[in-house]
Structure 1
Amino acid sequence: MRVFPAVDVLDGQCVQLVQGKRETRTVFGTPLECAVRWLGEGADALHVVNLDGAFGHAGKNAALIRDLIRELGVEIQLGGGIRTSGDAGSWLDIGVERVILGTAATRDPDILTLLSDTYGKHRIMAGVDAKGGEIAIEGWEKSGGNYLAWATVFEEKGAGSLLYTNVDVEGLQQGVLLDPVEMLIRHTGLPVTVAGGVSSPGDVKGLKRAGAYGVVLGSALYSGKIRLHDALEASNENS
């Protein structure tokens, strides 16, 4: 199972939020400093989010993130404020391995078809951010219908994978909720990467047993509640 340390960018800094609220930010340094740290500790890929983009300022941090991609030269999946096929294509063209489309995919699911036909399904990930079983969009400020129903739409429209984020537990460092993850994995034929609440090696093992393709480590990794080495070890265990 893959492990993706998060590098969340807000106002040019690497931060972590609680429940997606910008006023809860804790700053951990520059995005490059954090990325280099996790790569140095054994990560082989990163999960980068332009939080300013998610809050409606898509152009903010763009130059910084482009420089990060070019300088690191590693596998990066990128989300946050990607609202058009042009936005997605520009990131894919400069070397992002896969783009994550959430709000844009709910507004116009055909964007997934266009991008997967152009760049290949494996580079197009649909974001299934769920709050109380409903998909959460517009920076998690609005709900848009059952998350399983949307997963079906995304799969039919050409997404190559799904990023499932449980907003109810995101940032709380209290563990994952396996039931909705298991329901999604049973419901779809796509690889599912899970974010939100991953706080211990036991969480990683549980998600691996559930059939998750990958996990994103955020707040618990930055606070030291879970060590990257331990998460990687848990992801490689056979039982």
Structure 2
Amino acid sequence: MTKFRPCIDIHNGQVKQIVGGTLSDDGSGLKENFVADASAAEFANRYRQDGLMGGHVIQLGPGNRDAALSALAAWPQGLQLGGGVTIENAAEWIDAGASQVIVTSWLFNKDGSFRQDRLKQLSEEIGKDRLVVDLSCRRTEKGWTVAMNRWQTLTDVEVTRESLDSMAEYCSEYLIHAADVEGLCGGVDLELVRLLGKWAGIPMTYAGGVGTMKDVLDVDVESGGNVDLTVGSALDLFGGSGVKYEELVAWNQRSK
């Protein structure tokens, strides 16, 4: 059964919900759906109290290290950590309390060419069970193309059964944002969800477009219960009105 996985997205040291496609290096055009008064550590502590496992902390650009560390300290081994992860700092984040690290851009050259050798090297360095590969993507003529550098640069990797098979040898999970619908609360990319659900090789978390509990149900049905999901801007915890946090806590408890 599909489970809800919580998130803590940090931008400039604050917990935020943004429209994913508006994130850029210079900050121009950024659209914020929500900026929290509560700290990252407070969100982490709430997830801990409610027993929500498998969530993630994502650093959206520089200036977020202290907030990320505080969240991991609030729930050691309870959250994954992503954003700026490389082979030089991966073990450091795990030592700081991350259950796993999430990696994307470091697996590619600057031009977007995939480096299988880096994936293998990182997997050997920290262990397959500690590694989550982020295959966040944009819809293209080919289907779904993985995007890096805050979803600005398209890579040479397509989300297919073959690519999922190839990388699963070196990681324990996938995190997949549908970047084109991220933060819009207008519905999930069900075609992508179906593709992931039919593959179902290792645990996967889908993010992007959830607007109501119907979307949660749709992911469960269309993926055959094989894909977990996270909910951002629609969640009342983040100022939204489409999905209630307590509903999702109850949803997870029902699936135990």
CA contact (8 A) 2:5 2:205 kept: no
What residue number does 1:19 align with?
Answer: 20
8 A Cα contact 1:128 1:135, kept in partner? yes
CA distance in 2, matches of 1:191, 1:43: 16
Q: What SS class does the counterpart of residue 129 from structure 2 fall into?
A: helix
Q: Distance in 1 between matches of 2:249 and 2:193?
A: 20
> Retained in 1: the 8 A contact 2:44–2:72?
no
CA gap 1:138/1:86 in 2 versus in 1, 3 angstroms: same
**Cα gap change, 1:3 to 1:225, in 2 (>3 Å):** same
Determine the C-alpha separation between the residues in 2 that align with 1:74 and 1:94. 9
Alpha-carbon RMSD across the aligned residues, in angstroms, is 2.3
How many angstroms does 1:196 deviate by? 0.8
Q: 1:135 touches 1:150 (CA, 8 Å); kept in 2?
A: no
What is the number of residues matched between the two proteins? 230
| TM-score relative to the length of structure 2 | 0.80
Residues in 1 aligned to 2:74 and 2:49: alpha-carbon distance in whole angstroms: 14
State the partner residue of 1:3: 4
| 1:233 corresponding residue in structure 2 | 250
1:48 alignment partner, one of 22, 47, 57: 57
Residue correspondence of structure 1 range 161-180 to structure 2 within 5 A? 161-180=173-192
Which position in structure 1 is the counterpart of 2:159? Answer: 147
Residue type of the alignment partner of 2:81: L
**1:41-120 equivalence runs, <5 A:** 43-52=52-61, 57=62, 60-73=63-76, 75-82=78-85, 84-107=86-109, 108-120=115-127
CA distance in 1, matches of 2:69, 2:215: 32
Counterpart in the other structure of 1:201: 213
**For each residue in 1:114-165, what CA deviation from the matched residue of structure 2 results, as whole angstroms up to 9, or x when unmatched?**
3333433222111111111111111111111322254344224x01111111
Letter in 2 for 1:144: T
**Equivalent of residue 136 in structure 2, options 125, 129, 134:** 129
Higher helix proportion, which one? 1
Q: Secondary structure at the match of 2:136?
A: strand
How far the C-alpha of 1:7 sits from its partner, in A, is 0.9
* Distance change >3 Å, CA 110–CA 224, structure 1 → 2: farther
Q: Which residue is 2:44 aligned to? A: 35
TM-superposed CA distance for 1:170, in Å, is 0.6
Identity of aligned residues (%): 27
Match of 2:112 in 1: none
AA aligned opposite 1:230: E
Q: Structure 1 unaligned segments of length 5 or more: list them.
A: none
Match of 2:193 among 156, 181, 186: 181
